[in-house]
Amino acid sequence: MKITSTSCICPVLVCLCFVQRCYGTAHHSSIKVTRNQTKHIEGETEVHHRPKRGWVWNQFFVLEEHMGPDPQYVGKLHSNSDKGDGSVKYILTGEGAGTIFIIDDTTGDIHSTKSLDREQKTHYVLHAQAIDRRTNKPLEPESEFIIKVQDINDNAPKFTDGPYIVTVPEMSDMGTSVLQVTATDADDPTYGNSARVVYSILQGQPYFSVDPKTGVIRTALHNMDREAREHYSVVIQAKDMAGQVGGLSGSTTVNITLTDVNDNPPRFPQKHYQLYVPESAQVGSAVGKIKANDADTGSNADMTYSIINGDGIGIFSISTDKETREGILSLKKPLNYEKKKSYTLTIEGANTHLDFRFSHLGPFKDATMLKIIVGDVDEPPLFSMPSYVMEVYENAKIGTVVGTVLAQDPDSANSLVRYFIDHSGEDDRVFNIDANSGTIRTTKVLDREETPWYNITVAASETDNPGLLSHVTVGIRVLDVNDNPPELAREYDIVVCENSKPGQVIHTISATDKDDFANGPRFNFFLDERLSINPNFTLKDNEDNTASILTRRRRFSRTIQDVYYLPIMISDGGIPSLSSSSTLTVRVCACERDGRVRTCHAEAFLSSAGLSTGALIAILLCVVILLAIVVLFITLRRSKKEPLIISEEDVRENVVTYDDEGGGEEDTEAFDITALRNPSAAEELKYRRDIRPEVKLTPRHQTLSTLESIDVQEFIKQKLAEADLDPSVPPYDSLQTYAYEGQRSEAGSISSLDSATTQSDQDYHYLGDWGPEFKKLAKLYGEIESERTT
């Protein structure tokens, strides 16, 4: 294949065209033919032979940014099989084929239809093939080649990180490196000088310089002073084509700030100062400020203040405010105009962070003179002591002097002073003070056991200026008087065992006293000598404020006496001594052999018979079981039902039994016997059994006619049928009896049961003559006779 390049269009591009051709030829001469670059034609057998060099090539070149009206000629494809008769057809495929690159299929000329940018795409990979136009069979195997975009200088250098902000210490040596800047050029660095950049400084001289090749910025002067100028703006330019005429350039700004170093000492604006301080200024308060100036900043300007000389070193102190860098003058001791009217101080201010590189610029400190004038003011009275402590005995009379406070006017006028108690608490109501003399007296009787200490506040003011007050604290201690007798420390529960021996200690007691230690212990314990000697117990003083209770005899018995009483006496060690009496209660208890108390209760007496607690519980349990059996037996008997079938012995009339003498015929009225005599009457007339029935007496012949008209046999049958058909009766057989005496005999009834329903003319008054035994019966029949008469 033959390669034909584009012709030079103008004299400016002559050199480029020449380089292009030479560059392409050089590459062609270095082509290495490989077998895998050739594709076999379809239908042909594989033939091992060397491919033709005329159809194998490496790359073409095309200039970027072509602005001409016609497509830019790239190169030509040619096959040795092409005789020029148009039978060979050239085909171009790959990147940009048909859109960016077009080919004349007859001549093989390749053109670029668009302006290309190397910075966007540096090369294109395409494939070429020659085929027979008539048969469409390949005449040459498909071959790959590259079209490279040729660079031109169309991109200026750029600083991608600008603008820059950088610092450098002041007073740095000349040539101190500040910053290195770098500009980039998008052009091809391998082709010509399009990407070869050089640096220069456009603004910032004579303070700074830049290295043309590396872009390193350096200081160009000695001892650049931040206090003279702090900020600098330096403009750096980068130009390609090695800085030649026609090259493209870009610039950036570098803002450089000089940082501070401690190269300036502090300085007071004045060498002499004057300060007025009133004598009423409070100790510890700030009375003035002073400041030294330092041209440095930050920690380099930090300083401390101190008083190095003067007659007020012990009166005043100075501290440093780290925020404002001021010296704060404070008062250490109170001022007194009448004693000293002025003070002189020498104050020094010195840097705290020194840089020894600049020690030759020192010293880094300065001093000034301060005169302090004390102002005279009207001051409140001044007490002779900062606080007072006084003492007074308890139980002292009202008006007893406790003590005296003293205050004076510190001013030269020496005004009179008046005193009063600041009544802000309850303690102040116990005392008062003389307004002129300051003497404190009691207003109540004091009790040390109730309040042992009082704190009051006394105020003093000048008579000429009552508004100026001063206060002082007065503590009053109440001294003890022996006014409380000793008493037992607590209620004691003393126990003595039945098997105790004579001289055995059964308990130890102690006492307490509300008075102070001097009037309390030591305590003395003893028995009342006015009483007879106790035969059971005695008391032993242990001489350590305790006493022991001892037994005098052997064995005690609770059955004889279970509680004993022991009167004792206790005296304290006060002057004069006070004593009190108490009575101890001693209980008798049963104890084990080792002395442990077993029980002290009365039920424990059974134990003397040899019964243990378990045996007592067993006995109680048996008693409870027996009681339960008895209750259950009684309950069952009460709930037992009477049999429905009554034996012949039980078939009897209603006989009412009384334990008294009896009421005669009146007793039978509790039951209506006519219900058995006359069944029909039972249906019509039913009486209540719980009250006495009111019986209406009918004529005798009427009763007899009624009895004769009733058929008893039919009545019994009727009742039997009702009982058999009644579903509510019990399912077992029952016996129902009916009594009827039959027809009336000529002789009449000899029974008295019917006497309640018949009239009788018998006189019962004779019963009263039979004696007291028949008095009740006579009374009953007399009432019946009276009712009949009525």
Q: What is the pLDDT of residues 464-486, one digit of tens each?
A: 888 888 999 999 999 989 888 99
Strands 401-404 and 563-571, sheet pairing: unpaired
Rounded distance, CA 590 to CA 599, Å? 6
Rounded distance, CA 351 to CA 309, Å? 19
Residue 7 above 50 pLDDT? Answer: no
Q: Pick the residue with more confidence: 227 or 653?
A: 227
User: What is the pLDDT averaged over residues 230-245?
Assistant: 88
Least confident of 94-98, 212-216, 745-749: 745-749
Helix (H), strand (E), coil (C) string for 515-563: CCHHHCCCCEEECCCCCCCCCCEEEEECCCCEEEEEECCCCCCCCCCCE
Least confident of 261-275, 572-586, 660-674, 756-770: 660-674
Residue 14 above 50 pLDDT? Answer: no
- Is the bond preceding residue 521 a cis peptide, omega within 30 degrees? no
pLDDT value of residue 608: 44
Q: In the structure, what pLDDT confidence band is assigned to residue 444 with cuts at 50, 70 and 90?
A: very high
- What pTM was computed for the model? 0.41
Rounded distance, CA 56 to CA 327, Å? 93
Contact 257, 234 (CB under 8 A): no
Strands 505-512 and 487-488, sheet pairing: antiparallel
pLDDT value of residue 750: 52
Residue 108 above 60 pLDDT? Answer: yes
Helix (H, G, I), strand (E, B) or coil at 678: coil
Contact 57, 31 (CB under 8 A): yes
Compute CA distances 440 → 434, 463, 466, 761, whole Å.
7, 20, 21, 122
Least confident of 311-315, 328-332, 612-616, 716-720: 612-616
Contact residues for 548 (Cβ-Cβ < 8 A; gap 6+): 505, 507, 508, 509, 539, 540, 542
pLDDT in tens, 671-722: 455 555 555 544 444 444 444 445 444 444 444 444 445 567 777 788 777 7
Residue 670 above 90 pLDDT? Answer: no
Single-letter code of the amino acid located at 513: D
Contact residues for 110 (Cβ-Cβ < 8 A; gap 6+): 60, 73, 74, 75, 76, 77, 92, 101, 102, 103, 147
Rounded distance, CA 318 to CA 311, Å? 14
pLDDT in tens, 162-196: 899 999 999 998 999 999 999 988 877 777 777 78
Residue of 177, 147, 120, 156 lying closest to 58 (CA atoms): 147
The rounded percent of the chain whose pLDDT value lies above 90 is 36
Q: In the structure, what pLDDT confidence band is assigned to residue 574 with cuts at 50, 70 and 90?
A: confident
Contact 707, 742 (CB under 8 A): no
Output the average pLDDT for the chain. 79
Rounded distance, CA 472 to CA 384, Å? 10
The rounded percent of the chain whose pLDDT value lies above 70 is 75
Rounded distance, CA 537 to CA 436, Å? 66
Residue with tokens 């005798």: 700
Which structural domains are found in the chain, ordered by start? 59-150 (2.60.40.60), 158-259 (2.60.40.60), 272-375 (2.60.40.60), 382-479 (2.60.40.60), 487-597 (2.60.40.60)
Residue 302 above 50 pLDDT? Answer: yes
Rounded distance, CA 419 to CA 460, Å? 5
Question: Between vectors from CA 730 to CA 729 and to CA 734, what angle results, nearest 5°?
Answer: 95
Contact residues for 154 (Cβ-Cβ < 8 A; gap 6+): 64, 65, 187
Single-letter code of the amino acid located at 335: L
**Contacts by 759-764 with C-beta closer than 8 Å and gap 24+?**
759/697, 759/700, 759/788
Q: In the structure, what pLDDT confidence band is assigned to residue 629 with cuts at 50, 70 and 90?
A: very high
Rounded distance, CA 28 to CA 53, Å? 10
Residue with tokens 């004889």: 560
Single-letter code of the amino acid located at 340: K
Compute CA distances 35 → 38, 46, 50, 64, 138, whole Å.
6, 12, 8, 34, 17
In this structure, what DSSP letter does residue 379 have?
Answer: P
Query: Max Cα separation, the chain?
Result: 196
Six-digit token pair at 734? 């029952």
